[in-house]
Amino acid sequence: MGAATQDQKKSTKSNLLKYLLIFIPAIIVYLIPTTESYTEDMKIFFVITLIAIVLWALEVINLIVVALALPVAFILSGIATPGDVYAPWAQDLPYLVLGALILSAVLDESGLMKRLAYWFILRGGGSYGGIIFALSTSGFIIAFLVPGSLARIALFASMAFGIIKAVGFEKHSKGAVGLLFGAYNAAVTASFISLTGAEPMLVFNSQLVSMGQEGVSFLGYILHNGPITIIWTYIMAFVITKIFKPEKSIEGKEYFKEQYKALGRFSFQEKKVSVILVLLVALLATSSLHGIALGWIFIGMTFLCFLPGVNLADDNTMKKTNFGMIFFITATMAIGQVAKVVGAGEFIADSITPFMSLGGEYYTVIATWFLSVGLNFVLTPFAASATMAIPLAELAGSLGMSPLPLAYSFVHGLYQLLLPYESTLPLLLFSYMFMTYKQFFKYFSIQMVLNLLFLALIAIPYWYLIGLM
């Protein structure tokens, strides 16, 4: 009885602390006096947004419930209309993500992704270093075929875990940790090669279009980021093989041969999925010619999977789809929409311009990276992109430069983290409990430093070379 009472007291104290963390920052913001530039509507916007962000960060309430309540709070406060907060539903991004989630389930069921990944691993020779580089190489291909980052990380992480078990790596061993980070490199780092591979970039691009600016096309993005993404991915693959060099050498080619053989002959289902994927990539690549938005393309491809005779998806496929994620994405986009309505975007842009524009374009792109890394501690990547896209676009406009280098730098910064909670993608790796936090911190702190150097020495010079800056 006494132990139960103690637990109750601890729970009460924990809940009280969480409520203090939620409301004290919001109260402080509310007590800031309004000015001609900092209006009452703007103040209410910041208070509501701050409460939602802290709720997401502390996970006090289900993430999707907060996402449902946020637009309603904007409406009830009187600072925006339903037309303002639900405007993201009229854009194609929610439908792109929805179609991508369903297609990811279809691809997983078909077994085609495993076949591709095993094929690349065998080409790498089956050695530890060969596996890391082969995983990275397959990541470039799968980035185009599987737009959902969670689906990619789940695929590669499960493969890496299977390899760990097969070769007998111990828990917390360098080899086991290196393979998990090799999976992350393939699923996340390599995905920067495709516009549909890095979801925060889709949010940023969508916000640019909502402002009446021209976003980047599917092929334009590949031109801007493809070559440097290949360099960056292989840099990190090399780093993994050095800092997580296994205690024992492995030769796992026979294991992968067996796994590949176990998949059997190329099935009729896989052939049908291949046709769908070829059609999908062809439509994405020619979007600037036919003018069909990416979201409508994904919904069209999803529809094809359900057609009689095609039979690639059914009700069970839909059950695997995380529909709640769509509400979360539209809620984060609503933050950007309402920020525009109340003038918060312009206010933030005016506030950061003196610091972000102390130097030329080169300095501003680097400063944007630092801003993104800082925001990542308190905002989800989706929320950060939705919140800062408009202010950064306005900043770029005031400096007479394209907003795209700022967008690319910002999105790169969102993937530099030090704590597992900052993103669900590395959190999934951490959840396998095969790595220590010290190992997690070591990898991502090294990646953060190298990413800044990569941006400064490779990415920005390349953008100058192709005329983007």
What is d(CA 344, CA 390) in angstroms, rounded to the nearest whole number?
A: 10
For the record, the structure tokens of 149 come out as 């980052």
Structure tokens at 162: 């299977």
Rounded average pLDDT over 214-223: 87
pLDDT digit string (tens) for 349-376?
A: 677 767 877 888 999 999 999 988 887 7
For residue 259, what pLDDT is reported? 77
Partner residues linked to 127 by β-bridges: 251
Query: Helix, strand or coil for residue 168?
Result: coil
Q: Please name the residues in contact with 16: beta carbons below 8 A apart, sequence gap of 6 or more.
A: none
Query: Token match 């979801």: residue?
Result: 199
Name the token pair of 444: 């991502």
Q: Which residues of 324-361 are buried (b: 16+ CB within 10 A; e: fewer)?
A: ebbbbbbbbbbbbbbbbbbbbbbbbbeebbeebeeeeb
Distance CA 302, CA 102 (A): 7
Distance in angstroms (rounded) separating the CA atoms of residues 344 and 368: 18
Residues 6 or more apart from 208 whose CB is under 8 A from it? Answer: 214, 215, 389, 393, 403, 407
SS3 171: coil
Q: Per-residue confidence at 166, pLDDT binned at 50, 70, 90?
A: low
Q: Residue 250 — very low, low, confident or very high, per pLDDT cuts 50/70/90?
A: low
Cα–Cα distance measured from residue 253 to residue 126, given in angstroms and rounded to the nearest whole number: 4
- Which of 81-95, 201-215, 219-233 has the largest mean confidence? 219-233
User: Rounded CA gap, 284 and 290, in Å?
Assistant: 10
Ranked by mean pLDDT, the top range of 175-179, 342-346, 368-372, 461-465 is 461-465
- Give the HSE-up count for residue 188: Cα atoms under 13 Å, Cβ half-sphere: 26
- Here the tokens at position 294 are 């990416």
The pLDDT assigned to 162 comes to: 67
Chain centroid to Cα 235, Å, comes to: 20
Per-residue confidence (pLDDT) for residue 379, from 0 to 100: 65
Tokens of 283: 């439509």
* pLDDT higher than 70, residue 68: yes
For the cut 90, the answer to whether the pLDDT of residue 105 exceeds it is no
The full length of the chain comes to: 469
Query: Do the beta carbons of residue 72 and residue 370 sit within 8 Å?
Result: no
DSSP annotation string for 380-395:
-HHHHHHHHHHHHHHH
Whole-number pLDDT of residue 430: 65
Q: pLDDT band for 270, please (50, 70, 90 cuts).
A: confident
Contact 55, 19 (CB under 8 A): no
Angle between helices 324-342 and 63-76 (to 10 degrees): 30
Q: At what angle do helices 268-285 and 294-306 cross, to 10 degrees?
A: 160
Q: Which two tokens stand for residue 27?
A: 């109260």
Q: What is the mean pLDDT of the chain?
A: 82
Whether the per-residue pLDDT at 125 is higher than 80: the answer is no
How open is the CA angle 194-203-27, to the nearest 5 degrees?
Answer: 145
Are the C-beta atoms of residues 379 and 387 closer than 8 Å to each other? Answer: yes
For the segment 261-275, the average pLDDT, to the nearest whole number, is 83
- Measured over all CA atoms, what is the biggest interatomic distance in the chain, rounded to whole angstroms? 72
Query: Which pLDDT band, with edges at 50, 70 and 90, does 99 fall under?
Result: confident
Domain residue spans of the chain: 22-27+38-90+324-465, 93-319
- Which DSSP letter does residue 169 get? P
What is the DSSP track for 162-219? HHHHHHTPPTT-HHHHHHHHHHHIIIIIGGGGSTTTSHHHHHHHHHHHHTT-----HH
Neighbours of 257 (CB within 10 A): 14
Identify any residues that bridge with 383 across adjacent strands, giving them in sequence order. Answer: none
Closest CA to 423 of 384, 452, 388: 384
Contacts of 421 (CB under 8 A, 6+ apart): 57, 427
Residues linked to residue 251 through DSSP beta bridges, in sequence order = 127
Count of C-beta atoms within a 10 Å radius of residue 252: 20
In this prediction the pTM is: 0.68
Task: Tell me which of 233-247, 377-391, 406-420, 451-465 is least confident.
Answer: 377-391
Q: In angstroms, what CA-CA distances link 364 with 371, 399, 401, 407?
A: 10, 9, 10, 11
3-state secondary structure of 251: strand
- Look at residue 431 in the predicted model and tell me its pLDDT: 59
CA distances from 211 to 68, 295, 438 (A): 24, 18, 43
Instruction: Tell me how many degrees the CA angle 229-102-197 measures, rounded to the nearest 5.
Output: 10
pLDDT tens figures, 8-57: 666 666 667 777 888 888 888 888 898 888 889 989 998 998 888 788 76
Please give the full DSSP string across 127-149, using - where no structure is assigned. Answer: BHHHHHHHHHHHHHHHHHH---H
